[in-house]
Structure 1
Amino acid sequence: MRIALIAALALLYPVAWVAPLLRAGLLPLFGLSEISVLSGLAALWDTDRALAILVALLAIAAPYLKLIGLLRDAIRPLGRASHTALVILGRLAMADVFLVAVYVAVAKGVGVGRVETAWGLYLFSFCVLASLALGHWRPER
């Protein structure tokens, strides 16, 4: 069952990366632009490559590396140190969800534009939290 859940997350993460996390616009009269993890990375790449690389590591590399580690652990148990590394990878992936929440709070507080959360934020958050839960779930061996 654990392997099936890991496989489901491996399929859901790419959907979460292209799904709209936010809808943002400058004025309420104009339409809102949808922002996904990948479109946000593309925009960051044009303005701040170091931040784009950091976000790519937190939002894409860390979660997938953790899934690979969880799959390896499900097939053949890892040692304590390797399992601790997987937990840390999960926490790094959660940092990305936290950053999006901070951006939404700041944008709403400034009051210049309009920001709405979209379904992709919930999907991405679910994937990260499910991955965290799977990291802590180690059946008795």
Structure 2
Amino acid sequence: MRTHRDRIRHAVGFEVFALILSIPIMSFFFSFSIKDISVIAIAGSIMATLWNYAFNIAFDKGMLSLKGSTFKTPLIRVLHVILFEGGLLMLYLPMVAWYLQISLWEAFIMDASLVGFYLVYTFSYNWIYDKVFPIQHVSYA
């Protein structure tokens, strides 16, 4: 499994690159000011960083318990992304709706529009991260 320091590097890197890409994209497509999008993006980034850290520890422990290994096949990576994003959605929607003064439904539509981007981004980032910072896979055989 990854060290706590490595998990922090992973989570912070994920959020920094996501902010660099997402703020201008969100501002352009949703017609909100860069300031408003920056506020929700940074708040969401902090929320996502904490969620990323906790979720990945739980996911790896679950994999060890169920499979006896932390090795992630492409199918497991897809499941990982879906579960991660679903949990984050439940945390993020109320904050977006409140700050932008829009309904939860509008916040959901806004977020749903970004899910495609984040699904591809999350899969790609994690795959690249694993290539750049490989780990010894743990197996209980």
> Structures share a fold, TM > 0.5?
no
TM-score by length of 1: 0.32
Structure with greater Cα Rg: 1
TM-score by length of 2: 0.32
Structure 1 or 2: larger strand share? 1
